[in-house]
Structure 1
Amino acid sequence: MGATRRVGRVFSRRTPLGSLPLDLVGSGKLDGALVDWAYYRDGHRDTRDGNYVDALARARRGVGFVWIGLFQPNERQLAVVGEEFGLHPLALEDATEAHQRPKLERYGETLFAVFKTVRYVPHDDLTATSEVVESGEVMVFCGPGFVITVRHGGHSELAGLRQVLERTPERLAAGPGTVLHAIADHVVDSYLAVAASVQSDIDVIETEMFSPRGWRNIDRVYQLKREVLELKRAVAPLAGPMRALATLRHPLIADEIRDYFRDVDDHLLRVKEQVVSFDELLSSILQAGLAQVQVSENEDMRRISAWVAIIAVPTLIAGVYGMNFEHMPETSTKYGYYVVLGGMATACTVLYRLFKRNRWL
């Protein structure tokens, strides 16, 4: 590996310029994409190497491993990393394009995993256009002597996870499989947190939907259902890859790490069942809302029909007596006018009470 193939660690919001080795600043190959990198030996960060290319050479001799974090790299930048680490072109193509399904693929000795990350978007009031669940992606290349994480989406940071692992060097000493497990566990824990917040939104919308005139919230139910489907698309497809990691026999995944993957798989199964129940519950609420709309329309039609029937009686009588024929009965009687008005009022009162008793009014 000559000097022309060395890739420097670049400045980012998470990496102060003063903390970078001088020979790495401004190399330009991964500008804007490289967030952090470290070489771990016996679980501890080793800072003796000036760049990750030299550290990778040491790791390939069976001593420790390199962990590189990239954020939304372009095709050219991934090609550089792929050449240096020997990554498969198909995996690099998937890592360049966002919106991949959660999956686990094996290319020789390298594992390529895709995880959908989710974040709950806080909001004061759920509206018909509220964004509740925001998604991103974390892609992991896990091979002999290296781990490469590629993130898409502003909320999929792993800096805190790296710091947690560095405080437990005994875990990092187990190799790249530990990092893969930690990322999977971190992602699934975020699913649980988001699912708990979505549950609160569902409880609120369910209460409002079954309140008087609650069918007016039906557009909010539909929006929340769409957001739950976003969460479902992240959780459900991960079941297969996670089960594979829990049972996979691979040199990078020690037996004790496989046990931890089984625990993550159990958590994923729990949140998957929860999200499926959310979808079914919202479908039921949506159907109940549509039924309320129909009931409300039927009530309005009955109310209108009842008033039309009441008004039709005096209209009919007035229409008959308004024909102005010369020989109309009772037109010459002294109290005929008042008798007709009384008949109209009596008929209207009887109809009103009848419709009222039958709950048409």
Structure 2
Amino acid sequence: MIRNLRRAVRRAYRRTVDLSHPARSPLGSAVVNCVGYTDGVRQAGSCPAEEALRRVRKENSADPAGSSFVWIGLHEPTHEEFTGLAELFGLHPLTVEDAVNAHSRPKVVRYDDTLLAVFKTVGYAEHDQLTATSQVVETGEITVITGRDFVITIRYGRHGSLGPLREALETVPDQLTKGPSSVLHAVADFVVDEYLAVADAVQDDIDAVETAVFSEHAGRGDVGRGEAGRIYQLKRELLEFKRAVSPLNRPLESLATQPALLIAPEIRPYFRDVSDHLARVNEQINEYDSLLDSILQAHLAQMTVAQNEDMRKITAWAAIVAVPTMVCGVYGMNFEHVPELRWTYGYPVVLGVIAVSCFVIHRGFRRNGWL
């Protein structure tokens, strides 16, 4: 069932033209959608939150075993816009604070009869060529507030639209009959699947940098300095990726293993699957970080070797030039009695000695690999 749901999410994504800027509904500037569900089936039409909540509570009171709930989607609400919903659903003040203040640490916290989950969304920033200033990952945030008969999702950032996810869930009514916790699982699964996709894309950038570092001209001149900048940029972007992923380990593990009042027992095994995928992403990030460290060390070693080779060449040429410098320095002194100074063949003999000496020294350096 989960595999089918993931396929449906991908199909919905392909049908979505623009995920970054969802259409605003007449319910308000921040409300993207407000829908009620009864026995896993979406209720017809869209209505204000008060009316939707009144309907599902009326249905649940008539059928104590019912699974009706309302799902409200928001995009970057202000404190004033969210206050009305908070009063309507009786949310804890700390829930309101976490919901309207973006850039919270990923977590899962229970406040009274509500469960608040904060997820960091990660998207891959497309670029033609990785440079020392390229953005590799983009981060956003999704907050999910679940109660007994409602779900409130709040999205921050330009990516991570939940519209395709909602469409995919509506094709699997049996999953929605498990209540608001099914939406919480679907959002967690959606976010972690995006982590996997971004991790695969980042691996391509790392492979490109690794190939460039071990190329024929690596470690020389401006090319070598540029590779070091690219490696550091990848490490910075990978650190941002890690900050979004790592804090979710313990919350997802607790949802998968520990009984929770607001999590249906049938949903708990699905969280274990999401937790396993998250562990895989964490392993990939740690491996990438270690690999980048190794690539950086190899690159610095290449730079050092290249500099040593240059210094050896400079030293060898300096040694060759030292011979004529010494001879010319001796014969350039203004003493009257210098040996062979008045000899007819003195000049060509001195030039010959200089040439032969330089040739022998050059031959020796070439034989030893210095030139």
Q: Same fold (TM over 0.5)?
A: yes
C-alpha contact (below 8 Å) 2:170/2:176 kept by paired residues: yes
In the alignment, which residue of structure 1 is the partner of 2:344?
A: 334
Q: Name the SS of the counterpart of 1:117 in structure 2.
A: strand
Name stretches of at least 5 consecutive residues in structure 2 with no aligned partner: 1-19, 61-65
In the alignment, which residue of structure 2 is the partner of 1:181?
A: 185
Structure 1 stretches of 4+ with a deviation exceeding 6 A read none
C-alpha contact (below 8 Å) 1:15/1:36 kept by paired residues: no
Q: Name the SS of the counterpart of 1:255 in structure 2.
A: coil
Separation in structure 2 between the aligned mates of residue 231 and residue 260 of structure 1, nearest angstrom: 24
- Is 1:323 aligned with 2:327? no
In the alignment, which residue of structure 2 is the partner of 1:248?
A: 258
Q: Name the SS of the counterpart of 1:137 in structure 2.
A: strand
Q: Indicate how the Cα distance of structure 1 residues 106 and 16 shifts in structure 2: closer, same or farther if over 3 A, else same.
A: closer
Residue in structure 1 matching 2:49, options 52, 64, 67? 52
- Is 1:148 aligned with 2:145? no
Separation in structure 2 between the aligned mates of residue 14 and residue 115 of structure 1, nearest angstrom: 19
Separation in structure 1 between the aligned mates of residue 72 and residue 36 of structure 2, nearest angstrom: 9
- Amino acid of the residue matched to residue 207 of structure 1? T
What's the TM-score once normalised by structure 1's chain length?
0.90
Separation in structure 2 between the aligned mates of residue 139 and residue 234 of structure 1, nearest angstrom: 13
C-alpha contact (below 8 Å) 1:175/1:252 kept by paired residues: no
Shift of 1:100: 1.4
Residue in structure 1 matching 2:361, options 346, 351, 355? 351
**Counterparts of 1:81-120 in structure 2 under 5 Å?**
81-120=85-124
In the alignment, which residue of structure 2 is the partner of 1:257?
A: 267
- Amino acid of the residue matched to residue 192 of structure 2? V
- Is 1:33 aligned with 2:30? yes
**Counterparts of 1:165-204 in structure 2 under 5 Å?**
165-204=169-208
In the alignment, which residue of structure 2 is the partner of 1:79?
A: 83
C-alpha contact (below 8 Å) 1:116/1:136 kept by paired residues: yes
Separation in structure 1 between the aligned mates of residue 290 and residue 51 of structure 2, nearest angstrom: 53
Q: Indicate how the Cα distance of structure 1 residues 48 and 220 shifts in structure 2: closer, same or farther if over 3 A, else same.
A: closer
Separation in structure 1 between the aligned mates of residue 235 and residue 46 of structure 2, nearest angstrom: 51
C-alpha contact (below 8 Å) 1:69/1:148 kept by paired residues: yes
C-alpha contact (below 8 Å) 1:117/1:138 kept by paired residues: yes
**Counterparts of 1:249-328 in structure 2 under 5 Å?**
249-328=259-338
Separation in structure 1 between the aligned mates of residue 192 and residue 45 of structure 2, nearest angstrom: 35
Shift of 1:192: 0.6
In the alignment, which residue of structure 2 is the partner of 1:4?
A: none
Which range moves more in the overlay, 264-273 or 295-304?
295-304
C-alpha contact (below 8 Å) 2:24/2:31 kept by paired residues: no
Separation in structure 2 between the aligned mates of residue 344 and residue 170 of structure 1, nearest angstrom: 95
Separation in structure 1 between the aligned mates of residue 151 and residue 326 of structure 2, nearest angstrom: 88
What's the TM-score once normalised by structure 2's chain length?
0.87
Shift of 1:49: 7.0
In the alignment, which residue of structure 1 is the partner of 2:6?
A: none
Q: Indicate how the Cα distance of structure 1 residues 48 and 325 shifts in structure 2: closer, same or farther if over 3 A, else same.
A: closer
Separation in structure 1 between the aligned mates of residue 45 and residue 344 of structure 2, nearest angstrom: 120
Q: Name the SS of the counterpart of 1:136 in structure 2.
A: strand
Task: Give CA deviations for 1:68-106 in whole Å, capped at 9, x if unaligned.
Answer: 111111111122211111111112112222211111101
Task: Give CA deviations for 1:227-252 in whole Å, capped at 9, x if unaligned.
Answer: 11111111111111110111231233
Percent same amino acid at aligned positions?
A: 55
Q: Name the SS of the counterpart of 2:293 in structure 1.
A: helix
Residue in structure 1 matching 2:40, options 27, 38, 43? 43
Separation in structure 1 between the aligned mates of residue 161 and residue 22 of structure 2, nearest angstrom: 10
Q: Name the SS of the counterpart of 2:190 in structure 1.
A: helix
Number of equivalent positions: 339
C-alpha contact (below 8 Å) 1:206/1:285 kept by paired residues: yes
